[in-house]
Structure formats: C-alpha cells, structure tokens
Structure 1
Amino acid sequence: MGVEIERKFLVDHAMWQKLDKPPGVHYQQGYIVSDENCTVRIRVTDAHGFITLKGRTSGITRSEYEYEIPVADGLEMLKKFAKNGTEKIRYRIPLGGFTWEVDEFLSDNEGLLIAEIELKSENDKFEKPEWITRDVTDDMRYANSNLATLPYREWPENK
C-alpha cells in the first residue's frame, strides 16, 4: 500500500531569497477529482508526467499511489479533464537525511512559499532549516487541491 506522511510549513521570504539553492523544476498540476475522501491529480514537468491518487488524511498520513505517465498524455489529461489546478516551481533541499520540497507558487497563488517534508513515520524527528516559519500541516487552505479552488491571492487577508 502506498502511504504519504507529510508535514507542511511556511517559508520566510527574505531568508529564502538569500539561500543558495539548486535549480527548481516547473510543475503544472490539475485535479480531476478533489474531495475529502479522494484526490486524483495530474502533474507535468518538462520531462515527466504523473497521475496520483490520494486518500483521506488521518493525522499526517494518507494513502497515495503515484504512477509515471507520458508527458504528452499528462498535458492532454490536464486540458481535457482537470477542473482546476496550480502552477509552481519546486526546489529540493536535502538536510539531515530528509529532503525538503519547497514550492514557490505562481499565477493566482503567487507570493506563497510552502515547504514540505515527507517522513517515514509520524514520530520521525527532523531538523528544521532556519527559513522555516509556521507549521500549516493542519490548515487545509494550504493543501494544493484547495489552493486550486481558492487561490492564495483570493484569501480575505491577502486582498
């Protein structure tokens, strides 16, 4: 069974801009299904396409199944089937035996920086980089599928 155990954090913009980081990868992603029980996502980069199915979250754990698909198929699925989506640049930062994935959102979510860390168990201890700020794991507004329907720019506090 595929499992995802993940924590999410906001990123300090000023510190992030000063950080020496690897090149990022541009992602387009769209959602075919997105509700509290199931999410079906298509994700495409220049070199890879993926279809991902995610189940309901319990704590910080949920079932996840991800399969590589041809980029051309992914682009066609985004165009034909995705109801909404997000766009971002993702940076992968190794630290302390884990990899932090930092998403710099574009378009309607521009200005949002989220760092995610995937764990092997809910009790894993990990080092937080100095550019990490608030834990938003339990704030569902920051879920990518929710950012696709209610973008960051449209949040009342950001208008």
Structure 2
Amino acid sequence: MASSPKATADTFDARLVRKLADILTDTGLSEIEIEHEGLKIRVAKTLTAAPVTYAAQPVATAPAPAALAAAPAAEAAPAAARGDAVKSPMVGTIYLQPQPESPAFVKVGDTVAAGQTLMIVEAMKTMNPIPSPKAGKVIEILVADGQPVEFGEPLIVIG
C-alpha cells in the first residue's frame, strides 16, 4: 500500500484533507475527524435536503349552510341550550356529504336516529364518520363543508 500523506502541526498537507473528503464521499459519511502527532483535522460536509413542494388538494366547497350564515356567533350559546352539541373527536377537515356531488348527510330540521352519520372528519387522509349520540332533530349545523375543525369544537346541535 502506498504511504499515506503525513501532516504535523508545523507542516500541513492539503492532500490529506482531500483524501479525507474522498473518504466522506466514498462512504457516505457526513463528517470525519482524525488526530495524529498533535494535529487534529475535522472534515465535514453540509447535507441539504432537496426542496419539497406541497400542493394543496382542491376541496369542493358548498355554500355555507343558511343557519350558519344567518346566525351570528353570539347566538351559538342559546342554540346549545336548546339541544346537545356534538363535538369533534379529533382535529381535521369536516365534510357534510359523502362525496362532493352528493346531498348532505343531514340538514337543519332533519330527524336523526342514534348512531346515524351526521358528517365526516378527515384526519390524516382517513375519513371518520361522526355518529349522532342520540335520536333527535337537527337544530343547527355550526360548521361549513371543508372547514378545518379542532378537537372538542362543536359541530352540530341535536335537540
């Protein structure tokens, strides 16, 4: 084997640094450090990730429900007093119908049965149906189709 380049504190050999850089490239390491006869050399390369582009998926949105558009936010409290609010069990995006062109699962004034699907929350590309906790009448829908929702946010009021 050929003799390796020598480096000391007094004499610095650039060939040694190049050889260490070649070792980084050949082995896939991100850094290498050697110490010999009082000389310490560290060679590192900066790893940069390729730029990632995220494109928003188009979401078909329906016009806001009349109850949502007509009722100011201050009236949400009286609506809850007239019935039970069904809250979101997770963070996600709410969908009021199974497909963009389909009719809504429920609308204001509909009578629902316990366990009937009221809407869907999409979380991590999984569609999660939100069932009615009890039988009753839909008093108010508090969210719009395609709206992001938080955990515990009231979605619909059942009376």
Q: Smaller-chain TM-score range? A: under 0.3
Structure whose alpha-carbon radius of gyration is higher? 2
* Higher RCO (C-alpha 8 Å, min separation 6): 1
- What's the TM-score once normalised by structure 1's chain length? 0.21
Higher strand fraction: Structure 1 or Structure 2? 1
